[in-house]
Amino acid sequence: MAKRKKPERPATPENPLLNTHIADAGDIMEQSIVDTLEINYMPYAMSVILSRAIPEIDGFKPSHRKLLYTMYKMNLLTGGRTKSANIVGQTMRLNPHGDASIYETMVRLARGNETLLCPFVDSKGNFGKAYSRDMHYAAPRYTEAKLDPVCNELFSEIDKDTVDFVDNYDSTMLEPVLLPVTFPTILANVSLGIAVGMASSICSFNLRELCETTIALIKDQTHNVMDTMPAPDFIGGGTILYDRAQMEEIYRTGRGSIKVRAKYQYDKKFNCIDVYEIPPTTTCEAIIDKIIERIKAGTFKEITDIRDETDKNGLKITIDLKRGVDPDKLMQKLYKSTPLEDAFSCNFNVLVDGHPRVLGVKEILIEWIRFRGRCVFRRISYDLGKAKDRLHLLKGLETILLDIDKAIAIIRKTEEESEVVPNLMIGFGIDRIQAEYVAEIKLRHLNREYILKRLKDIETLEASIAEMEDTLSGKAKMRKVIIKELEAVGKKYGMDRKSDLLSVTEMPEEATAEEVPDYPVTVFFTREGYFKKITPQSLRMSGEQKLKEGDEIILTMETTNRKDLLFFTDQMQVYKAKVSDFADTKASVLGDYIPAKLSMDEGESTVFCAVTEDYKGYVLFVFQNGKAAKVTLNSYATKTNRKKLIKGYSDKAPLGAMMQLTEDSDVVIETTAGRYLLLNTAAISAKSTKDTQGVACITLKKGNQIARVRPYTPGEFVKPGRYKSKSLPTMGALLSTEDAALKSNVTFAGFDAETT
């Protein structure tokens, strides 16, 4: 490890100790980046993975386990509720983090928050709602909590050596490494976590189905888990769009996404839709915000109002409709463009024996069965040891029964207390443990009736010991124990499914897009980025087109209302819209300002507009480095409703000019030096890559630029061959005297470079 001394500064009257040397103080340490990663970063990364973000096979992260165990030690499993602040304070003995993070952990585990399908905390007070962004939980001094009855399945065996215990962070108390859960909690609740370089996202499954599936898997490891547990189940309900092939992939690999739709009902009396269940990955505020955004954009003209009517009865989003609107068709549109339909991303990453592993559902259950088998083995071994110890004591008591008077006499005749146990051992041939037990019996219990009652337990203990030894000797008996416990859990705590299944093959056809009327229009696009469409009737009755001062029209086209529009910007991006998105207007208005209408990036402006319906043809780009690129218009077509495309054209050189071509044709490229090139676009290969750099066509001298590109008009040149070239690139040709005279009498309409 090398050191580089920091240069000394002279002492001053204000700081006379400036150069007093303290070991390593102010030294700059040079350290290899590899050493930094190994010494500083890797331990942090491992700590986050193993001790924070990824759940163990018992279904809990360390923060959950520490909180629940603290509540168990506070007798909150059988006792009454206590203030949440008290629980948080006690948990800090195990979890050395701030009280806010501990309380937030408890909130998510609470029944009142409605995050978990199988909650572990019985809460009282305002614990907020998982489905609401704005319904915050109250401070811990205002709420109370205790452990939910289902926690009996977590702690009933914890004192029987079923799991290992370790010291807490300051070695003042012990805490369990895992909890001996009697059912697969790892799949019973939603679990989300982000570690370093990996994450975990586990969805919840119905507890009854989960227990049945685990039982079936214990009996037959070839069992198809989808037969008994077809899909996840979420606390918020909703409708799962069920694709069996996709679900099988998730079950097999532990990765994939599950689409969930909101549930709704139509209130005919008030002509409104009431949404009462939403996907688990969104909130009611996010849904309302998105719908309002789409209403403002003009997408949902059928909606008159939307509001949140959530109350003590549960979630409720009310959508008021215009008269005559079909609610089912509207909901199909809402599903498509709002979080009313959302996807839960699955990533079943679990810590197994201290190693993170992404497992399928069946693999997780098999690992849990293995873990549970170890817990049951240790519990039975513990009970067996206790039973043998008890039997051993009763055997000694049985020996005393032969002559109680002799035992009393031995005790009475022993002069020293320390000799009582040895004398009993000698007198009856019993060991020290048995003698200690006999010696501690109260005088009032040294009667035949008491001893006979105790001895009746010998037969029961012997039968119990034989049964436990038999269970430990074979895996089949162990499996029966686990199955019996799972059956009891499923019967006691199981509930019906909350999330319905809707097969994708049975889904109603998606609502077709609102029928857009088709009629002829004329569209205008200006240099400054204003766009307007005018019907032929209005155009005939209108006068001069109103424009912003200094602006001019660069595109005038007769088209129809159903065509698509592509707006190219100076940031190499393309924004897509439809002619029908714009209202019919008149010549006396400026029109819509495209950068604002399409929410373009700050400072971004339009340079070109293309109109199409079938995306046939090309877009020709001519750059200031003399290269030209011909991109198929189909490259800008998208299967989804994407409104913005990046890398719309090459950024390697400034754009000189561009044109829309329906087919290959002759075009004229004019430079600022007065040179012309007559080029057939067939000489340029069409590319599907939007940001292609193109091929060199015209050579420009320093200081010259592309002035404009326009379609060639037959008869424009007296001798067209003068401006053609057999090979590219070329310098182009200056106008001949005849063409110059001809040009002075003709005005050509084209898209000039100044627009870009």
The residues carrying an active-site annotation are 142
**532: helix, strand or coil:** strand
Whose tokens are 């041939």? That residue is 429
Q: From the centroid of its chain, how far is CA 398?
A: 66
CB 525 within 8 A of CB 555: yes
CB 229 within 8 A of CB 205: yes
Picking from 604, 600, 611, 609, the residue whose alpha carbon sits closest to that of residue 570 is: 604
* Length of the chain (residues): 756
CB 131 within 8 A of CB 340: no
Which residues partner with 110 through β-bridges?
A: 121
Q: How far apart are CA 648 and CA 621, in angstroms?
A: 11
SS (H, E, C) 53-79: HCCECCCCCHHHHHHHHHHHHCCCCCC
Q: Tell me the pairing of strands 500-503 and 239-242.
A: parallel
Give phi and psi for 486, each to the nearest 5: -65, -40
Question: Which two structure tokens, joined as six digits, stand for 187?
Answer: 């799949």
Q: Tell me the pairing of strands 686-687 and 627-632.
A: parallel
CB 172 within 8 A of CB 96: no
Measured from the Cβ of residue 223, the count of other Cβ atoms closer than 10 Å reads 17
Question: Which two structure tokens, joined as six digits, stand for 694?
Answer: 């193109």
Picking from 129, 119, 107, the residue whose alpha carbon sits closest to that of residue 312 is: 129
Picking from 245, 264, 317, 266, the residue whose alpha carbon sits closest to that of residue 288 is: 317
Measured from the Cβ of residue 740, the count of other Cβ atoms closer than 10 Å reads 11
Q: How far apart are CA 13 and CA 17, in angstroms?
A: 9
Whose tokens are 């010991």? That residue is 465
What are the start-end ranges of the H helices in 4-120? 33-36, 42-48, 62-73, 84-91, 99-109
Q: How far apart are CA 700 and CA 695, in angstroms?
A: 14
Cα–Cα separations (whole angstroms), residue 754 to 305, 554, 592, 594, 683: 46, 11, 22, 19, 26
**686: helix, strand or coil:** strand
Q: Tell me the pairing of strands 341-347 and 255-261.
A: antiparallel
Measured from the Cβ of residue 461, the count of other Cβ atoms closer than 10 Å reads 17
- Positive or negative CA dihedral for 228, 235, 77, 373? positive
Give phi and psi for 217, each to the nearest 5: -70, -35
Q: From the centroid of its chain, how far is CA 749?
A: 53
Q: Go through 600-626 and write b for each residue having 16 or more CB atoms within 10 A of its CB, e for each that does not.
A: beeebebbbbbbbeeeebbbbbbbbbb
**Strands, sheet with 317-321, edge to edge from the N-terminal-most edge strand:** 263-267, 272-277, 317-321, 303-308
Q: How far apart are CA 12 and CA 84, in angstroms?
A: 56
Whose tokens are 């209130």? That residue is 267
Q: How far apart are CA 330 and CA 332, in angstroms?
A: 5
Q: How far apart are CA 88 and CA 110, in angstroms?
A: 14
Q: How far apart are CA 59 and CA 153, in angstroms?
A: 13
Q: How far apart are CA 532 and CA 310, in angstroms?
A: 43
